[in-house]
Amino acid sequence: MSVAKNPEHHGRMKHLDLRYFWLGDEVQKKHIHMEHQRTDEMPADLLTKALARDKVEKFRAMMGLVTSGGCVE
């Protein structure tokens, strides 16, 4: 987030492929708004981490995913 919001970091990030700098350009043009998300509010964690059942249910609902019937216990 800091690289996208602050172009002065560009010199330190030269090892990154230039195609990834489009994000910073889009933030400056105000096409994209970035904000910090607390870890307990990140539904993408459902796809990347092993989570407790309550978090699975919460993030599943946030993504709009529904079960097709019963749940295997």
Pair 8, 18 in one domain? yes
Would you say residue 71 lies in a domain? no
Pair 5, 22 in one domain? yes
**pLDDT for the residue numbered 54:** 93
How many whole angstroms separate alpha carbon 19 and alpha carbon 9? 16
Q: Given a cut of 60, is residue 10 above it in pLDDT?
A: no
Q: What is the pLDDT of residues 12-30, one digit of tens each?
A: 555 666 667 788 888 889 9
How many whole angstroms separate alpha carbon 30 and alpha carbon 70? 44
Give me the number of domains the chain comprises: 2
Pair 28, 1 in one domain? yes
Q: Which domain holds residue 48?
A: 37-66
